[in-house]
Amino acid sequence: MRQTVSAIGIGIVAGLFSGLLGVGGGVLLVPAMVLLLHYSQHRAHGTSLAVILFVAVAGLSGYIRAGQISWPIAGGLAVGGILGAVLGARLAGKLPAATLRRVFGAFLILVALRMLYDVAGALVWGHSAVAAENGLAMADEWPALVSPGIGLVAGILSGLLGVGGGIILVPAMVLLLGLSQTMAQGISLAVIIPTAISGAVVHYRQGNIQLRDVLWLAVGGVAGGLGGSELALVLPVLALRGLFGVLMVVVGISMVLPKQRAT
């Protein structure tokens, strides 16, 4: 019973941040499963991708209703993302758990520092490198040319680290494709769905998915994702990014300097 309650709680928190920021929630799911549910690093990564599938679907619904989605761009990103997720998942199976854990922790810290830099830029200089409101004027063919490449990089990180890839997708779409923050988050959730499926299939074949807890993590994740996507349309993005960045720094440090032996 305690395991079930913990799984639902972890899912709710991860889903909330997924809907709020357009990410899959893996940056919270993976360390929570390792530290609180005592999963091995490999199993946490695989299970995270299985749960992310449900969380992303729930979070996407709010963005679709608000018209914050571009299916052509999502399709281009998904092509690269599916291939990358398979490659990343296979690579994860070849790495020792301790190495995988430290790589994940370092990834969290780097992403968090980038997010906090953007927040500081908005507060000090009055602008943000990633949080554009109206997007930039881009040539019509530009998204089609670069989307598969962006998706490939995000997919590799997704399969390798057990995250949805939104941490890479959202800032890349704003910076390279000139999309608004909200539009980028909606597209990110759409791309995460096929990416998570392809990565999860590989992890499942490797025995890295804990099916017993997927249901309860997904129940909490869906509930949190639905609420998060609605809040994202009304809450200030700057405050959300700052909060999330601080949280990821703390979690990342705990992963780089593990207090328990990885198995």
Query: Which region holds residue 163: left if phi is over 0, alpha if psi is between -120 and 50, else beta?
Result: beta
Query: Which region holds residue 22: left if phi is over 0, alpha if psi is between -120 and 50, else beta?
Result: left
Place of tokens 């790589």: 103
Confidence of residue 84 (pLDDT cuts 50, 70, 90): very high
Please give the C-alpha separations between residue 66 and each of 43, 72, 232, in angstroms, as whole numbers. Answer: 36, 17, 11
Question: For the segment 86-121, what is each residue's pLDDT rounded down to a tens digit?
Answer: 999 999 888 888 888 888 888 878 878 877 887 787
Question: For the segment 62-73, what is each residue's pLDDT rounded down to a tens digit?
Answer: 889 888 888 989
Q: Measured between alpha carbons, how far is 83 from 72 in angstroms, rounded to an integer? A: 18
Q: CB neighbours of 144 closer than 8 A, spacing ≥ 6? A: 72, 76
Q: Measured between alpha carbons, how far is 173 from 158 in angstroms, rounded to an integer? A: 17
Mean pLDDT of 217-231: 87
Q: Which helix (H) or strand (E) holds 100?
A: helix 97-124
Ranges 47-61, 130-144, 237-251: which has the least confidence: 130-144
Question: For the segment 190-221, what is each residue's pLDDT rounded down to a tens digit?
Answer: 998 999 899 999 999 999 999 989 999 999 98
pLDDT at 125: 65
Predicted TM-score (pTM) of the model is 0.74
pLDDT at 56 exceeding the cut of 60: yes
| 3-class DSSP state of 139 | coil
Ranges 46-60, 109-123, 135-149: which has the least confidence: 135-149
Confidence of residue 254 (pLDDT cuts 50, 70, 90): confident
Three-class secondary structure assignment of 73-90 = HHHHHHHHHHHHHHHHHH
DSSP 8-state secondary structure symbol assigned to residue 260: S
